[in-house]
Amino acid sequence: MTVNNERQPSRSNYEQPRLSLLRVAGWVGVVVATPFFLWVPLGFTGLIPSMIDVFGIVGLRIPAAFTIAGLLLAAVGFHRI
């Protein structure tokens, strides 16, 4: 067992639970953000309709909100990694 700067015992990677609730929340956030994140370059190349074609200029805040929410959830879920 090692001691970190705050004088609290730290766990090694082998002592931590394999799949905690926060880690699951992090992966859910990544899954939510990934489709919208990949939609932008695929829309620019013309392989799929762009976000502007689907949502319009005003409606771009809908996919932006989902992407930001997913990334925030991933940041909370993976904050210890």
pLDDT tens by residue, 13-64: 555 556 789 999 999 999 999 999 999 999 999 999 999 999 999 999 999 9
Stated pTM of the model: 0.69
- pLDDT classification of 81: cutoffs 50, 70, 90: confident
Exposed / middle / buried, residue 55 (Cβ in 10 Å: 0-12, 13-18, 19+)? middle
Is 73 within 8 Å of 18 (Cβ atoms)? no
Q: Token pair of 4, please?
A: 């970190």
Range 12-19 contact pairs with CB under 8 angstroms and sequence separation of 24 or more: none
- State the pLDDT at residue 15: 56
Query: When comparing pLDDT for 6 and 71, which is higher?
Result: 71
| Total residues belonging to the chain | 81
